[in-house]
Structure 1
Amino acid sequence: MLSRTLLATFLAVISAGASPVQFSKRQSITALTSAQISAFTPFTHFASTGYCNPSVTLTWTCGANCNANPDFIPVASGGDGSSVQFWYVGFSPSQASVIVAHQGTDPSQIEALATDADAFQESLDPSLFPGVSSSVEAHSGFAGEQAKTATQILSAVQTAIAQHSATHVTIVGHSLGAAIALLDGIYLPLHISGVTFRTIGYGTPRVGNQAFADYVDSHISFTHINNREDPVPTVPGRFLGYHHPSGEVHIDDSGAWLSCPGQDNTSTQCIVGDVPNIFDGNVSDHGGPYNGITMGC
């Protein structure tokens, strides 16, 4: 179900004009190899599975998405799909990683929800994000969504690490789920040591200010994958003080996956240049396909 907080930010934007690859700000725009693209596929399915009811993610009986990662071992799931986004945590032996996944949004409701503008920024809650500077600010709605499940997910991740002697945690999500996943990518390492973390987001909106983007670049491994002319990654607008971290992969109209270095790369080969405003976007691109995978349970 679509969050009113996420796609409300479209209103403001109208006023403004292999292993997964790592990125350097100075590298040129380059195409991913087929092996690099394929390495994302299990995680794309994990993100898509975030749309499934907790009753089926806990038993891993959700059909095609679950079947795509058949060795996954669920640990916990939750959310109601309305006031609290669905989520699940478990362990993937084939990926040698704990997986944390968050439910995304329903793009069919974008226009209806665009009248509810709520894009102001706030410092991260110091009780959840100890030691993070108050200058690091995030979208208040996204931060509020992440706070609803933060302690439950922390506990589930700690359990999964202990049960499986895990040393890696991968956090995934699509749309609003990607925004929550990015915040979890900052949150979890502050409370868990001795493991490595990475976050993979699909159709990720901008989540925070310049200090937020810089913190992400300095502290976490983050890849955000954008499909063709999806307008969601262009909101909230940069004129409101929002900035994407580095790590963009843009799927262009030919189907090529392009690594776009730096923050908010304005090349027309990257999402900011390709979709300068929502009138140039195509909402139907938001759900995918991402290498043949369309988001949804």
Structure 2
Amino acid sequence: MKTTTITATIAALFAQLAFAAPVDNLDARAFDEMERRAASAPVERGFTETTVEERASNWVTNGPAPPMAMDVASTWATLARYQSCVRAGYAWSCADCNLLGGSSKNTVLMTGGDDGATPVHYVVNNGSHLIIGIRGTNSNDPASLANDVNFVLVTPSETYYPGIKAAGGMVHAGFYGATTRVAASLAPTVQAAVQGGTTNVIVLGHSLGGAVGQMLGVYLTSLLGSSATVYVRTFAPARVGNPAWADYVDATMGERSQHMVNFNDPVPHLPPLAWGFRHSGNEVFLDKLGSLDPLVCSGQENSHCADKYEEPLNWLASIVQYVDSEVHMGPYVGVTLRGNC
């Protein structure tokens, strides 16, 4: 489908929505360090409106951004390969899948999604962790693009996010709809695997899949409770919700939820801050193309990291260019995400 045709399709969708209602297994040492840091990070419970007010005065937007430890960066590279395998299906036999040990070391428990309204996704057991991968926007499918352009802010269900109404959290309607469909598809498989004894869950996603991955990870944290530890590691996610949502994510997951941004990729700047959206904390930033040395960015929307490239964007007209751009696909610590893998 040509870009001009897709742009016209998006414009029509926008007109409707404007009036719509509201390597082998993971490196053990690196993952141990990830878990240690997460265990020491404060995670609040009983999230309330008062919590939001208190945290609002403590946002860090220009704090330090030190280099990430090499072993932790290596773990991100491994996770990028898992993300690249999101379309491999049950065969698990593409180039990146083979570097991860192929089907002999990774059991695909389920695959789902139609690559349209519901992003393609999988659940894999690699012997020590459940890995969930979620694909980004399919720029050739109007239903997939519709998830992106339905940017009305809505209050999500308390069933998925306890306390979200009191917190004032609101999320992107299109991302939320996609999340509920993905959750319905894979939650039974995840619950069964956790009951079977696999208690570490890692949610991955890229672009649209990164936004869905964050929302899914927060939901699974509530759903699974103390029976599992859920981590979110996403690549180039769009902004998911308002500042109260960003605080809700940080309070619920702390450092267990992180997102990686590649240099001047425009997608993580969408929807714009001016529209009332905000990223949660724990950004991991690659400050130049091909960087193997990520920066660990303190606070939300750190001006020393991706926000240095924040600028007005003609989002609606150029969304196809952005989601298919080279910088958007990587490399992420040396790994380029392969859309056909």
Q: TM-score range by the shorter chain?
A: 0.7 to 0.9
2:176 to 119, 143, 155: 143
Answer whether contact 2:116 2:138 (CA < 8 A) is retained. no
5+ long unaligned stretches in structure 2: 15-29, 42-59, 315-320
Q: Residues 21-41 of structure 1: CA distance to partner in whole angstroms, max 9, x if unpaired?
A: 559869621111322211112
Query: 1:126-205 counterparts in 2 under 5 A?
Result: 126-133=158-165, 135-163=168-196, 165-193=197-225, 194-205=227-238
The structure richer in strand per residue is 1
Q: Give the letter for the 2:159 counterpart.
A: S
Answer whether contact 1:107 1:287 (CA < 8 A) is retained. no
1:118 to 140, 150, 158: 150
Measure the CA separation in 1 of the matches of 2:310 and 2:331.
Answer: 18
Measure the CA separation in 1 of the matches of 2:210 and 2:266.
Answer: 15
Q: How many residues align?
A: 273
Identity across the alignment (%): 29
1:210 to 222, 233, 243: 243
Q: Give the letter for the 1:173 counterpart.
A: G
Q: TM-score, normalised by structure 1?
A: 0.82
Measure the CA separation in 2 of the matches of 1:45 and 1:210.
Answer: 31
Following superposition, which runs of at least 4 residues in structure 1 exceed 4 angstroms of deviation?
1-4, 20-27, 106-109
5+ long unaligned stretches in structure 1: 12-17
Q: TM-score, normalised by structure 2?
A: 0.72
Measure the CA separation in 1 of the matches of 2:171 and 2:220.
Answer: 16
- 2:306 maps to 1:271: yes
Q: Give the letter for the 1:271 counterpart.
A: A
Answer whether contact 2:77 2:334 (CA < 8 A) is retained. no
CA-based RMSD of the aligned residues comes to: 3.0
- 2:65 maps to 1:43: no
**What residue number does 1:15 align with?**
none
Measure the CA separation in 1 of the matches of 2:271 and 2:204.
Answer: 20
Structure whose alpha-carbon radius of gyration is higher: 2
1:85 to 103, 107, 119: 119
- 2:107 maps to 1:73: yes
**What residue number does 2:66 align with?**
30
| 231 and 190 in structure 1: CA distance in 2 versus 1, 3 angstrom threshold | same
Q: Residues 143-201 of structure 1: CA distance to partner in whole angstroms, max 9, x if unpaired?
A: 011111212211010122233x1121100010000011000011112211221111001
Deviation at 1:79, TM superposition (A): 1.0
Measure the CA separation in 1 of the matches of 2:110 and 2:140.
Answer: 29
SS at match of 1:46: helix
